[in-house]
Amino acid sequence: MRKIPVLILLCWLVFETVAVISVTAAQFSSLDSFTKSDRVLILAPYPDDEVIGCAGVIQGALKAGSQVRIMYLTNGDHNQFAFIAYKKRIPLKPSTFVRMGETRRKEAIASAKSLGLSEKDLVFLGYPDFGTFAIFSEYWHTDKPYRSLLTHISKVPYKENLSFQAAYVGESILSDIKRVLFDYQPTKVFVSHPADTNVDHKSLYLFSQVALEDLKGQMTTPQVYPYLIHCVGWPKPRHYHPDLALHPPDKFLDSYMRWFVFDLDHESLEKKHKAVLMHKSQTIVSAFYLLAFVRKNELFTEYPELTLEKQGFLSGQAIRYSGYSDTYDDEAEDSSDEIENKNLILANVSFALVDNTLAIRIEKTRGFKRPFNLTAYLFGYSGQRPFAAMPKVRIIVRHSSIQVFDAKKRVTSASVSLTSDEKEEVLHVPLSLIGDPNFILTGLRVHGEKVEADAIGFRKIVIK
């Protein structure tokens, strides 16, 4: 085992002192009131996310005289199980999934109208359901766009959408989101959470962060409020309980996140219930899950960035999530007690910056001795280069073997190293590998043999 440099150890010590003070019980505040001057933008990964996460906010903003617009990243055309239940037949042709996307678009329009919006307030992009994270990670500067697994197409197939025939590449999605933001000039943005277990929810947050950074100086930076939809074992109880309040998942209570509550009156709650049920293609299989969000309040977070100094000592904590993998289907009935009691891997994750190298310390749970596997995503942003030209780094550690990829291309791993002992693993990544960024969007998944994956949601780490 290589020895960890003294400076990094000092960083960890400083961090541990800070962490005791900063990581306290979750803070709860009321969401700021809406005004006539507000321009509210809801960014939804799929049709139905806007109502299960934000139907109360939409109604509250409209009552205050605010303008409201909704943008949908995908048409939700990948849910084959919902299709089978809704159409009562097994889809045999790729075109049937496109028709499902058209159905979900119509449901979203009807649902939005029931909340007081019109079709002109809705923007549909139509990118591939369950494919946008792969696009963000791998499909930039390429003449071979992403190909959807179920529709078998590589460009937006919906004529009514914003960019009909746009290729499934990162530049297309980023350009569309920037266009929506710039044209609308929102004051408040509600977007899917980077700690959501669904990959399209993660990617919409990532694309929005890059888009907002690209538009700095061209528009006033809006307030951004992430909303959480997918988290294993949450919310409980399932089904329709309008008399109950919605609380954050237990695993987030001792975190750096500040939680905002938006209360719904009886009328708003009834309208939300009706709006959710209008997504018939989804409630036919997932009503027990979707209606669990029809509660007395909605929840949003403030998701602060971390800042690391190139000179050394400040480090920050990333929250530890318990026992899930990104492929877990949270919309099925689950036995969360069994999931949460499995032998987990992560005890804590923290970051430090030393000698132009990012150090990621992964503290393991006591007694974990199985082979250690890690996947780290590092997406750098620099004001000196277009994001499309920046490296899209994925580091895969299998036991002591390290593989490094830039998008789909494998690159030399000589500059990346791992130090380890029984208590922790420390991954060392030169900033030059990430493109010498101004900030990094990073997320981790840690695996063990026959053990569920642990993960941390994507964080924004600013390099000063």
Reported as a single tens digit per residue, the pLDDT across 216-263 is 999 999 999 999 999 988 999 999 999 999 999 987 876 678 899 999
106 against 87, higher pLDDT: 106
Helices (H) and strands (E) in the chain, counts: 10, 20
Question: Per-residue confidence at 213, pLDDT binned at 50, 70, 90?
Answer: very high
Domains of the chain and CATH, by start: 6-23+305-463 (2.60.40.2060), 31-302 (3.40.50.10320)
Angle between helices 266-277 and 49-63 (to 10 degrees): 140
How many other C-beta atoms lie within 10 A of the C-beta of residue 222?
A: 19
Of 390, 361, 362, the closest CA to residue 378 belongs to 390
Exposed / middle / buried, residue 20 (Cβ in 10 Å: 0-12, 13-18, 19+): exposed
Q: What is the model's pTM?
A: 0.88
DSSP string, 251-298: GGTTSSPEEEEEE--HHHHHHHHHHHHT-HHHHHHHHHHHGGG-SSEE
359-405 pLDDT tens trace:
998 887 765 666 678 899 999 999 999 999 999 999 999 877 999 99
How many angstroms separate the CA atoms of 386 and 403, rounded?
A: 25
95-153 pLDDT tens trace:
788 888 999 999 999 999 999 999 999 999 999 999 999 999 999 999 999 999 888 99
The structure tokens listed for 224 are 């951004």
